[in-house]
Structure 1
Amino acid sequence: MSPVDLSAVALRDAIARKDLSPVELLRACLDHIDAVNPAVNAICARDDERALAAARLAEQQVMRGEPLPPLCGLPLGVKDLQDTAGLLTTHGNIRLRGHVPAHDNALVARLRAAGAIVTAKTNVPDSGAGANTRNPVWGATGNPFNPDLNAGGSSGGSAAALATDMLPLCTGSDTGGSLRIPAALCGVVGLRPSPGLVANDARPLGWSAISVLGPMARDVSDTALMLSACVGPHPMDPLSGLQATGPFWPLPEVDLSRLRIGFTADFGACAVDPMIRRVFADRIAGLARQVAHCEPLDWNLEEGHRCFDVIRAESFLAGFEALSHTDPDSLAPNVRANVAMASRITLSDRAQAHLVQTRIFRQFQRAFESVDLIVAPVTPLSPFPWTEPYATRIDGVEQRNYYEWLSLSYLVTLATCPALSLPCGTDERGMPFGLQLIAPLHHDAQLLAMARSVERWCGARPRPDLQDLRTPRPALRSLVTHPPLRHGDGATTLTAV
């Protein structure tokens, strides 16, 4: 068995026992990236030399018998929206195609301090806007189960890298579902934590709870291990003092038979493909036989759509208004659409959105007085071709904009609850199917513990055909509009092909 086949927890234990060298593990990951990445285009910039130097230092720690940090020697993929010192951070945007930050963002710095080895950047949509990972710098990321289909987004590169065993751990971020959606479409785990749990020192609106950073991994235990190394306050993030109850690692045991579950296929407000409804109903019927109580939630969150429009537009205006005046041509079409929407929003709109979000939050919290866990689908569709920028119609319902098809996840964003995408078999097309598991605000550790219990019932995650992925898909690079990136500024920037 290759080291790349092992879970992050198993790898950490093998390193601690001196059964596996961090250098050996990193070389195995790099070789596997070389073999598989050309088929999915999940990995963009790499820094092999510095990663190998860090692996050698980790190996020396182990051999000297020093106390080891929790992620000692584990290779890490970092979403290309998150700054990495000395390594390209392009956001998939032409304006930033040569940007090499001087410093890590707070999450990357914390993971390095926990022993993780920053190995590569993972692909994103242009500026992180949308749930189809494609941009003019690196191209598109294909779904590992069929590279002609999309991998979701905006953490699509991280999800595809995990699903293909290129890396054991990856970072992500989530506004309307960017951790959960690619995890569901690629068959891995993505956790949207409670706001403030994972510090974000780069969020323009420091007091806004709409966007969070979080972990992605191949199973719940790996996700919990990674989260344990991510949490903690940061002086530049005013929300980061809001800590959830623990412990995050090791997870306590939860008896599945004692859980009370509430479920909904659509929150009374989302268009969902009939096939996804059937698959979800099948999973709920099976789960209902394992738990103490399972009841439908008769909700209508229709007012959440306009609420999310306003809050999302406000966030994009804060991040991109200046560029919309000084360099509008550099803005991705999706970003321009959000900035234009913001220009039409009034203070009255913002106040109404805040009122609606508060009502939605309280509706979720009241539900948790009688259930332990809320379960819903993550996405309303099976993966569609990556050549289609977004889903325009679902079950005959025209989508209002490029992100309405994400409403199953963005309505949960408005509730600010922690939410986890858990792989639970495949859909009728043989593509991964994800359950969205939702817990009360600040109950992240309990969510992970319950998710691990449900995971045991779901069984092992679906696995792509890695042998088939040894055939490159050059079409994934067809969106690239400039010559390949080159070595420079201390960063090794290997293009994905």
Structure 2
Amino acid sequence: MIGRGQLSAEELARACIARIEAIDPAVNAVVSCDPDALLAGARQADADRAAGRPLGPLHGLPLAIKDMNDVAGLPTTYGSQIFRDNIPAADDALVAGLRAAGALPFCKTNVPEWSAGANTRNRVHGTTANPHDLTRNCGGSSGGSAVALACGFAPLASGSDLGGSLRTPAAYCGVVGFRPGFGVVPGPDRATALLPQPTAGPMARSVADCALMLSVLARPDARDPFTPVVGERTPWDAADFARLPRRDLSSLRVAVTEDFGFAPVSAATRQTFRRVLAPLLPFLGASEETMPDCTGADRIFSVLRAVMFQATHARFLDETPDLVGALVADNVREGRRYSATDVAQALVSQGAYARRWLSFFDEFDVLISPAVTVQPRDWHEAFPAEIDDQPLQSYYHWLALAYAATIPGHPAIILPCGRDAQGLPFGVQLIGRRHGDLGLLAIAAELEAVIVGIHDLAPCSPDIARLSTAPPLRTAPGFLDVP
């Protein structure tokens, strides 16, 4: 519409700014914003279009950035008290690439401290609430981005994902989140470069918009050892993500699992998953209730996650312990309990795990599961300690449905799929073949079209009128009481 002159970039920018001003006090998704810079960029985008200059794929689109990435002139706090006054002078590589494609990054979205945990709360910016129920958790760590999308603050947002950090909030807020396979979105600054489990990824309100954003994010950058670059090109053509191929759903070989054989999935989530899946199965090809062998998943993820926290955050705990939150501190301490033997065993187990997944996808095109083990709970709860009265192994054990796919590096996407019995958004997870990001997105786009056409499953939006009259979230008891 912007390219055809049906909508000016300035009109879109003003609409986003107005929505933030009206709604954000109720949800606290945006932790910093530069509306003047957005308007200036939008006016320049309109002038470029009017002058017939070349337009990038994201020309004139306002962009929300997770507060783990640098935007020049806006604070990057990581949700950490140590960095509450940190203002970078330049964009980081991810933001610079998006800006070069015409996007207009203008606000930062809330995260838990250092993205540790799936409840978006920290001692710098407080809590972000679920826009569908302001008493509930919005997920994390990309919770601010998911809420911003659900509320219409921007059409695109950045996310990142280790153990479901963009998938969980996408499911909880009723938006789309795509976790790419290893190396598709380069992480040139990743400290543990040869442990590629953390990755950036696109978040949007549709599969097509996620894919469009991925066409810019999936750039060649040889500084990431898992992004193959030969002759300044990757094996994939990033532009293909902006023009997804059609896929015949009836030809697919589909695997379905409620729990991967090990995840602590609640009875209510299982029931909702079966209910929403039933009307979709007639559109799909042969389906089978099965899953890859996930032996050792909890141990592999626990050890490798702790190693990464030990590598990147231990110095903060040692130097400024009073400024480090409980979850980050616990991760560092857990890492210090593991021996070299523990790490070696986890790496060997991960290799065997990944090979089993590769063999499984020789037989299946896509695997479908619930997105999260349990639906949104009270945001005052740092994390679920139990599900259906069964105690969990760790504060991140409830994210097992997500990290099952993280370990082998397969791409995964969350599709909104109706509501649960409490009226909250419900998400399903689709997992594709290793290196099959384009194919998975094509399948997801086709299935999304089916879901939209089924009244009981169509994606739901928050009640904007109700949010506009809600009291500011920062007045709620416990808003800043983060351990």
Q: CA deviation at 1:453?
A: 0.8
The corresponding residue for 1:154 is 141
For structure 1, list consecutive stretches of 5 or more residues without a partner in the other structure.
Answer: 1-13, 483-497
Mapping 1:117-128, distance limit 5 Å: 117-128=104-115
**1:33–1:166 Cα contact (<8 Å) kept:** yes
The corresponding residue for 2:337 is 344
Q: 1:439 aligns with which of 432, 435, 441?
A: 432
Q: CA deviation at 1:48?
A: 1.5
Q: Residues 393 and 313 from structure 1, CA distance in 2 versus in 1: closer, same or farther, beyond 3 angstroms? A: same
Q: 1:203 aligns with which of 181, 185, 190?
A: 190
RMSD between aligned residues: 1.5
The corresponding residue for 1:374 is 367
Misfit runs of 4+, over 6 Å: none
Mapping 1:82-97, distance limit 5 Å: 82-97=69-84
Q: 1:168 aligns with which of 132, 148, 155?
A: 155
Matches of 2:44 and 2:398, distance apart in 1:
45
Deviations 1:28-55 (A, max 9, x none): 1000110111111111101112222211
The corresponding residue for 1:44 is 31
**Number of residues paired by the alignment?**
469
Mapping 1:277-316, distance limit 5 Å: 277-297=270-290, 301-316=294-309
The corresponding residue for 1:9 is none
Q: Residues 359 and 92 from structure 1, CA distance in 2 versus in 1: closer, same or farther, beyond 3 angstroms? A: same
Task: Report the AA paired with residue 145 of structure 1.
Answer: H
Task: Report the AA paired with residue 108 of structure 1.
Answer: V
Q: CA deviation at 1:474?
A: 3.0
The corresponding residue for 1:219 is 206
The corresponding residue for 2:460 is 462
Whether 2:185 is the aligned partner of 1:192: answer no
The corresponding residue for 2:124 is 137
Q: Residues 126 and 165 from structure 1, CA distance in 2 versus in 1: closer, same or farther, beyond 3 angstroms? A: same
With 253-262 and 73-82 compared, the bigger mean Cα shift is at 253-262
The corresponding residue for 2:443 is 450
Task: Report the AA paired with residue 343 of structure 1.
Answer: R
Whether 2:265 is the aligned partner of 1:268: answer no
Q: Residues 202 and 476 from structure 1, CA distance in 2 versus in 1: closer, same or farther, beyond 3 angstroms? A: farther
Q: Residues 75 and 354 from structure 1, CA distance in 2 versus in 1: closer, same or farther, beyond 3 angstroms? A: same
Identity %: 43
Whether 2:326 is the aligned partner of 1:333: answer yes
Q: 1:411 aligns with which of 379, 382, 404?
A: 404
SS in 1 for 2:347: helix
Matches of 2:463 and 2:316, distance apart in 1:
43
Q: 2:216 aligns with which of 229, 248, 251?
A: 229
Q: 1:474 aligns with which of 467, 472, 475?
A: 472
Task: Report the AA paired with residue 138 of structure 1.
Answer: H
Structure-1-length-normalised TM-score: 0.92
**1:40–1:473 Cα contact (<8 Å) kept:** no
Matches of 1:476 and 1:417, distance apart in 2:
38
Whether 2:64 is the aligned partner of 1:77: answer yes
**2:67–2:110 Cα contact (<8 Å) kept:** yes
Q: CA deviation at 1:476?
A: 4.0
Task: Report the AA paired with residue 352 of structure 1.
Answer: Q
The corresponding residue for 1:394 is 387
Matches of 1:470 and 1:346, distance apart in 2:
52
For structure 2, list consecutive stretches of 5 or more residues without a partner in the other structure.
Answer: 453-457
Structure-2-length-normalised TM-score: 0.94
Q: CA deviation at 1:83?
A: 1.2
Q: 1:20 aligns with which of 7, 19, 32?
A: 7
